[in-house]
Structure 1
Amino acid sequence: MCWTEYISAIGIPIIAAIAAWIAFRQSQIARNKLKLDLFDKRMEVYSAVREALGCITRQGNLTQEQQLQYLQGTRTARWVFGIEVAHYLDEALWHKIVDLELHNTMSKEPSGPERTKHIQKRAEVFKWLVQQYKDFDALVAEYLELRH
């Protein structure tokens, strides 16, 4: 056997190994791209929630436009975070936002026991909503960590 036959016999496995390594690296790149895309989608939902909480903290309520922005910003939560986070956003947080709106409106009524009740309830709901900065962060922290 001549040396060209040896090189030819060794060359094919080397080329196959290089091709396998390239394919492996491409799969890693694709997986990391998917992680980044998912992170971006999750961050959009996270930002919509934080923006709504910020407006509530600054203004004491959300305008109709801000409520719409919240609903639009969180509509994909089920698909990018899962059912637990979606339930929290759709049921717990959204219902408190609506309650705050009700109590804000009813606390403008003339003096009386009903107005006093709504002022107290508004304060409770407002405190709960401010606490959601920490609670929401804790709920979604595992989803927003970039790990390799």
Structure 2
Amino acid sequence: MSTTMKDKGGSEVALGVLAATAFWLIVAILVGDPARFKDYAAPASTVFAAITAGWIAYRLGQSQIAVAKVQADIAERNWKTSNEKIVLDLFDKRLAIFEDIRGLVGEACRSGTAPDDLFFRYGRAIDRVPYFFGEDVQKYVEKIRLHLINLNLANTMMQNLIDPERPTWVKRRGDEFVAIAKFYEEAPRLFGPYMKAHQKA
């Protein structure tokens, strides 16, 4: 029991004693005759003591309920604070992964190529996706990875100027480039729900 509760309990008891003393003083004044007073004293004191004890118990119970409510409010606020910290930490990690992937896609779009170094860095960036995003995002980043492979292949095959298949590879390069560039349109819809205040699990 806290110090405040002890203080309250002590003041309640003191108040009960003062009320009992006042009651008996009034009874003594009104009854006057000590012989008549004696007949009523024992039953009256029992009833009054029971009422006083009940009142004190009620007041103490009310105080304990109030303290319990305050403690529950504090516990709820602590839980909310802890939860907000976890949500913020998760948001930071997800945002860092998204920005890494977006940066690499941006490099591919600016140069129109996906050299081995870029492809390696992209693979390292998407390694963390299964731990922070759902299957929808995992499938999407894998699809972008395949487009990067195909873009690199098309660029390599286009280098042979006398190859009769060159026009096919030129078209394929354009298709792969467009598919990669669509990241800026498609990714926000997939990544966004994971990074909002009410997060997707």
TM-score band, normalised by the shorter chain? 0.7 to 0.9
What's the counterpart of residue 132 of structure 2? 80
Unaligned runs of 5+ in 2: 1-8, 14-55
- Separation of aligned partners in 2, 1:71 and 1:135: 19
Q: Does 1:97 align with 2:148?
A: yes
Q: Is the 8 Å Cα contact of residues 130 and 138 (structure 2) preserved in structure 1?
A: yes
SS in 2 for 1:121: helix
What's the counterpart of residue 48 of structure 1? 100
**How far is 1:99 from its partner?**
0.3
- Separation of aligned partners in 2, 1:2 and 1:142: 57
* Residue-by-residue CA offset, 1:84-141 (whole Å, 9 max, x unaligned): 2111112x11100100010011111132322221111001110111112111111222
- Separation of aligned partners in 2, 1:63 and 1:39: 30
* Residue-by-residue CA offset, 1:60-103 (whole Å, 9 max, x unaligned): 1233232222111111212211112111112x111001000100
Deviates more, 1:16-25 or 1:93-102: 16-25
Q: TM-score w.r.t. structure 2 length?
A: 0.66
Q: TM-score w.r.t. structure 1 length?
A: 0.87
Alignment size in residue pairs: 147
* Residue-by-residue CA offset, 1:24-58 (whole Å, 9 max, x unaligned): 01111121112112211211221122111100111
- Separation of aligned partners in 2, 1:29 and 1:96: 43
- Higher relative contact order by CA 8 Å / sep ≥ 6: 1 or 2? 1
Cα 1:98/1:4, change in 2 over 3 Å = same
Cα 1:4/1:119, change in 2 over 3 Å = same
The one-letter amino acid paired with 1:55 is E
Aligned ranges 1:105-144 → 2 under 5 Å? 105-144=156-195
**How far is 1:3 from its partner?**
4.6
Query: Which is greater in Rg?
Result: 2
- Separation of aligned partners in 1, 2:133 and 2:101: 13
SS in 1 for 2:182: helix
Q: Is the 8 Å Cα contact of residues 147 and 180 (structure 2) preserved in structure 1?
A: yes
CA RMSD across the alignment? 2.1
Q: Does 1:34 align with 2:96?
A: no
